[in-house]
Amino acid sequence: MGQQLFTFGAAFLGSAVESVEALTIVLAVGLTRGWRAPLYGTVAALVSLAVLVVVFGQLIVERVPESTLKLVIGTLLLLFGLRWLHKAVLRSAGVVAMHDEEHAYRQTVSQLEGATERHDWVGFVIAFKGVFLEGIEVVFIVVAVGGTSKYFPEAVAGGILAMLVVAAIGVVVRKPLARVPENTLKYAVGIILTSLGTFWAAEGMGASWPFDFVSIFFLVAAYLAASQLAVQLVRRPALA
Amino acid sequence: MRFIRSAASRVIGLFVADWIQTAVILVIVAAAWYAISGLRAAPVPVLVGLVVLLAAQHIWFALSEARRDARSTPLPSPSPR
């Protein structure tokens, strides 16, 4: 039950972060050029992503031996999580600017301003590209988290629910979700994915963790402590 | 074509921000794998070593990027007295 919830939570949080970024693009296109083309673009991207999840998910779960799957996906998840964590640490320490949805929104709007045609291909392509490219990360998180833990339906449910929640909020507020603490979420998801990646990669090597799944919480604590130490060390020379 | 290139670079970018850091992580994982599968070492010390090394490289690369960034950012001009 704990592992199921953890899988669902990791997929939900990771997907929510990427959905916020996709929503910003769709809103920028919709509010400047009308809604029809970006909605078609969004639907086309979501269908393509769903095909990727089904194809890769089934292929991975059914064809790849469990230990190989854990080692390969665990290592990829580790690389993915550490990349997010690295960026989050640099943002927390003030080395890299915080991701700003308002700024991303204004940038997309300024690129799109101009007359629209009856069949707005620009609106369609930009919405498709935005949702598809942000969605690739959602697909990876869902397939990696669900495929290795054997809780694929829970991971898919977490990903879909995250997209639905973000889309529903977007429909209500009709502006970029600038108040979502995206950097904090990315930090948390980075730690969770790094911990899951370490856990599965080691199981794929043939090692058994002491206390089994509970050891993930020790991994979370270790990576949280390391990243906090990194933030402190990075801040110090910057202030000197 | 541009879309495919952009999607491909996006997929690589999911896992690689800095090629050297990626190589270091892969070497750490490969070393742990060799110790457990090849040398049949006791798993717990290897797992502890794996986590410590991964955490250490995370701190090291964050610090080195911050240093690089500090060097590339020009110092503010001295204020007039």
Q: CA-nearest residue of chain A to B72? A: A95
Q: Above 90 in pLDDT, residue A139?
A: no
Residue of A11, A181, A198, A218 lying closest to A88 (CA atoms): A181
CB contact under 8 A, A207 and B15: no
- Compute, in degrees rounded to 10, the torsion defined by CA atoms A188, A139, B11, A17: -30
Q: Which residues of A touch B62 (CB under 8 A)?
A: 86, 89-90, 93, 230, 233-234
**Token digits of residue A184:** 């904090």
Per-residue pLDDT, A194: 94
Q: To the nearest whole number, what is the mean pLDDT of chain A?
A: 84
Report ipTM for this prediction: 0.84
Preferred mutation among B39, B58, B73 to probe A, highest tally of A CBs within 10 A: B58
**Closest by Cβ to B37, choosing from A76, A205, A227:** A205
Cβ separation B43–A95 shorter than 8 A: no
For an interface test with A, the pick among B10, B15, B19 (most A C-beta atoms closer than 10 Å) comes out as B15
The answer on pLDDT for A238 being more than 70 is no
Q: Is the pLDDT reported for residue B78 higher than 60?
A: no
Q: Which residue has the higher pLDDT, A202 or A105?
A: A202
Min CA distance, A109 vs chain B (Å)?
20
Q: How many CB pairs under 8 A join A and B?
A: 105
Contact between A86 and A234 under an 8 Å Cβ cutoff? The reply is no
Q: What is the pTM of this model?
A: 0.80
Cross-chain residue pair B58–A202, CB shorter than 8 Å: no
Nearest residue in chain B measured CA to CA from A85 = B58
One-character DSSP codes across A112-177 = H-S---SS-HHHHHHHHHHHHHHHHHHHHHHHHHHHHHT-HHHHHHHHHHHHHHHHHHHHHH-S--
Looking at residue B81, what is its pLDDT? 46
Highest mean pLDDT among A47-56, A172-181, A187-196: A187-196
Half-sphere exposure of A116 (CA within 13 A, CB side): 20
